[in-house]
């Protein structure tokens, strides 16, 4: 996965880049930053030499630069913003330009280039996709290929186009779901399609699914064509069910034989000469001797079915031939027991199934029919090369894919095995591979004890599939359907803001953030863009520009300057350590739903005065260093967030407020070189 991180040299953006690399070191990240007063490349010293990191200096409101930056990127994460409330009051134009228009430019590039704000690669190298052209590995798949997908609402199996193939290198944890009937190996953030006993379909990450005691793999329903009759060119209309059954028999037990042979005619003449010379004056044919030894070309079009007389399906095949209007012969000799007939029309029809056992296949058009008729094809295949309708045998890899597709459309579960055999017949070695396909009607399930977390280092891949976001995969013979701040709200005296609370911003800064927030959501609603929004409470931590409350107060006190507290200092904010916020963004990337908003809070409501007194204590300063100043315009009394929604994704802040603030104070004490030049400006 390739990320474009905007504002990546700023406080939150730089922390995010460093944290993301620590979790996913193989990811490629492009950092687009204008390097205004708050953006500093010194924040990213740890990643400067990383081959997967690239910096581009530029403004997100510059369309040309953004167009260049998004090249080869899969995900855009926008941290670029003018973010100081006081500055927004004195100079609101800059905030509207960056926060709103800049967001518009990014969203337009995402829309035009078919980018997604979140796009996850999932499958390992051994996993293949079942397409209408057979099984394909990730290196064979192309945009425009047709795959089979479940409609989550109707549970109908649909054929969908591949819109994009995503391939990348990955080193890290994979989750392996494996038992006798299931084999799926995916990244932890892969979205699993899971079914309940009542066939209710829902989606959750592989990591969450792995915690279940048991779950079921989903089934789909196939509709298909309902034509009762099929027109066989040169023969006429026949019943589809009879044609499909005989076709299944032919794939397993049939073959064609076309022969040409030159034979001398009795007269020694060709037809034209014979009609002219073999008549007397009255026009009657007369006897004549062989004149020139002329040879004519005879053509034979024969179709054979190798079915013993005592075979359980022999009578059914004979009746089916009669139903189709085919006159046949029975033969028993050294070559075996046959049903056979001669017909150029039918030889041409059976050609499409392939010549020779290794080349047999099911034509695409047959698999487009409904289960009502596909069942007759299945019966024919099983009656020829099957065992008790439970195991099918073939040496054709093409037929494996077609038969598996047939099973899926009949709501049957197919598991493919492969065996290598070697035998000797009359001193001649016979060696080769063959396939056996085990068929079951029961729903597939997997229990927790059959799920493992394993290390992986290699290629992973996924497909972007139109509409349904899932497709059928195959792994080792098993087939399955497998898959931005809270100041925008305003002030609240009691309770907590939820994601559905109305946005009531009180400053040009928060209004510009709210505008970008809703613009992002509008691109999801209008264009279907895979956009996700986080609204975090107040962040704090290292590398924060010393104009914000916590770094300003720390650095002022380190310089023996007083700290300016607005009003009575009783304004309340919820605080979150920046590393926890970055973890929340990653969690939303991996598990969040398209078009959803997620509040991110630390659960640490503090008055500004409480924060001030904590910092005073850590730096051994007294309250005389506090200077109460006139309250700013539009100063909200309290911000607080309800974070139940993101908590359900598995997010929980890892750092305690007291310890994180102590670490932050210590960082500024140890890094005068970083913040002192900034305060001089």
Tell me which residues are annotated as active site.
486-487, 509
Query: The tokens of 252 are what?
Result: 């397993």
Other residues' Cβ atoms within 10 Å of the Cβ of residue 385 = 23
The owner of tokens 């999801």 is 524
Nearest Cα to 177, choosing from 205, 135, 197, 139?
205
Are the CB atoms for 302 and 346 separated by under 8 Å? Answer: no
Give the HSE-up count for residue 87: Cα atoms under 13 Å, Cβ half-sphere.
13
DSSP letter string, 210-233: TTSSEEE----B---B--SEEEET
Backbone angles phi, psi at 18, to 5 degrees: -65, -40
Instruction: Give the span between the Cα atoms of 292 and 171, in whole angstroms.
Output: 81
Q: How far apart are CA 346 and CA 111, in angstroms?
A: 52
Beta strand 28-33 with 53-57 is parallel
Residue 480: name the closest of 240, 177, 224 by CA: 177
User: 541 to each of 60, 255, 390, 549, 582, how far by Cα in Å?
Assistant: 25, 76, 63, 11, 12
d(CA 89, CA 79): 21
| Rounded Cα–Cα distance for residues 589 and 580 (Å) | 14
Residue 71: CB partners within 8 Å, gap ≥ 6? none
Q: What is the 3-state secondary structure (H, E, C) of 73-100?
A: CCEEEECCCCCCHHHHHHCHHHHHHHHH
Report the alpha-carbon angle 130-248-472, nearest 5. Answer: 15
Query: What is the number of residues in the chain?
Result: 681
Residue that the structure tokens 């396909």 belong to: 437
Q: Are 294 and 305 in contact (CB under 8 A)?
A: no
Distance of CA 451 to the CA centre of its chain: 21
CA distance 38 to 318: 85
Contact 135, 204 (CB under 8 A): no
235 CB-near residues (< 8 Å, 6+ apart): 325, 345, 346, 349
Query: Both tokens of residue 300?
Result: 């034979």
Three-state secondary structure call for residue 484: coil
Q: What is the β-pairing status of strands 28-33 and 2-6?
A: parallel
* Residues contacting 85, CB < 8 A, separation 6+: 487, 507, 509, 510, 632
> What whole-number distance in Å separates Cα of residue 534 and Cα of residue 598?
5
Tokens 């911003």 locate to: 505
């Amino acid at each position: 996965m390739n990320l474009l991180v905007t504002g990546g040299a700023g406080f939150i953006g730089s922390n995010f880049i460093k944290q993301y690399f620590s979790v996913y070191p193989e990811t490629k990240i492009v950092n687009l930053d204008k390097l205004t007063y708050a953006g500093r490349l010194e924040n990213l010293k740890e990643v400067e030499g990383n081959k997967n990191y690239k910096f581009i200096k530029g403004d997100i409101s510059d369309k040309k630069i953004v167009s260049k930056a998004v090249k080869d990127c899969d995900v855009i994460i926008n941290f670029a913003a003018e973010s100081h409330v006081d500055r927004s009051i004195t100079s609101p134009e800059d905030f509207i330009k960056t926060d709103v228009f800049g967001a518009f430019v990014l969203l337009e590039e995402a829309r035009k280039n078919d980018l997604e704000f979140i796009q996850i690669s999932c499958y390992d190298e051994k996993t293949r996709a079942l397409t209408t052209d057979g099984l394909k590995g990730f290196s064979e798949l192309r945009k425009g290929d047709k795959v089979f997908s479940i409609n989550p609402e109707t549970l109908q199996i649909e054929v969908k186009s591949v819109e994009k193939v995503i391939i990348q290198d990955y080193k890290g944890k994979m989750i392996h779901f494996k038992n006798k009937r299931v084999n799926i190996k995916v990244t932890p953030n892969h979205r699993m399609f899971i079914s309940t006993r009542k066939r209710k379909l829902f989606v959750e990450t592989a990591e969450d699914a792995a915690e279940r005691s048991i779950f079921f793999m989903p089934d789909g329903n196939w509709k298909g064509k309902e034509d009762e009759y099929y027109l066989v060119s040169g023969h006429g209309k026949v019943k589809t069910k009879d044609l499909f059954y005989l076709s299944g028999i032919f794939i397993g037990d049939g073959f064609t034989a076309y022969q040409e042979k030159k034979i001398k005619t009795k007269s020694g003449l060709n037809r034209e000469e014979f009609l002219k010379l073999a008549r007397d004056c009255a026009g009657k044919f007369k006897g004549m001797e062989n004149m020139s030894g002329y040879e004519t070309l005879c053509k034979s079009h024969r179709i054979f079915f190798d079915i013993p007389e005592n075979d359980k399906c022999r009578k059914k095949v004979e009746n089916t031939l009669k139903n189709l209007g085919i006159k046949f012969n029975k033969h028993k000799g050294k070559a075996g027991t046959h049903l056979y007939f001669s017909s150029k029309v039918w030889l041409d029809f059976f050609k499409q199934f392939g010549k020779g056992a290794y080349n047999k296949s099911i034509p695409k058009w047959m698999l487009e029919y409904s289960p009502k008729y596909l069942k007759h094809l299945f019966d024919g295949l099983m009656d020829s090369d099957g065992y008790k309708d439970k195991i099918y045998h073939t040496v054709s890899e093409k037929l494996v894919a077609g038969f598996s597709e047939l099973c899926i459309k009949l709501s049957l579960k197919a598991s493919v095995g492969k065996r290598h055999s070697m035998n000797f017949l009359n001193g001649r070695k016979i060696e080769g591979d063959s396939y056996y396909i085990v068929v079951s009607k029961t729903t597939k399930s997997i229990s927790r004890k059959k799920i493992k977390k394993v290390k992986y280092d290699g290629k992973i891949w996924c497909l972007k599939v139109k509409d349904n976001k899932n497709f059928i995969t195959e792994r080792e013979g098993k087939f399955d359907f497998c898959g931005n701040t809270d100041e925008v709200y305003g002030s609240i005296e009691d309770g907590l803001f939820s994601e559905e609370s109305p946005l009531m911003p009180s400053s040009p800064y928060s209004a510009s953030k709210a505008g970008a927030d809703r613009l992002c959501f509008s691109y999801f609603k209008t264009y279907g863009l895979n956009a996700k929004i986080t609204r975090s409470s107040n962040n704090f931590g290292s590398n924060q520009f010393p104009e914000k409350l916590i770094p300003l107060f720390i650095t002022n006190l380190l310089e023996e300057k007083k700290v300016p507290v607005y009003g009575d200092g009783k304004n309340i904010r919820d605080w979150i350590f920046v590393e926890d916020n970055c973890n929340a963004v990653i969690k939303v990337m991996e598990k969040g739903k398209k078009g959803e908003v997620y509040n991110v809070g630390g659960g640490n409501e503090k008055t500004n005065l409480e924060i001030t007194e904590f910092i005073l204590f850590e730096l051994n300063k007294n309250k005389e260093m506090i200077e109460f100043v006139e309250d700013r315009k539009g100063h909200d009394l309290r911000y607080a967030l309800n974070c139940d929604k993101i908590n359900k994704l598995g997010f929980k802040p890892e750092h305690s407020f007291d310890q994180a603030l102590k670490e932050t104070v210590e960082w500024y004490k140890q890094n005068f070189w970083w913040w002192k030049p900034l305060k001089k400006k």
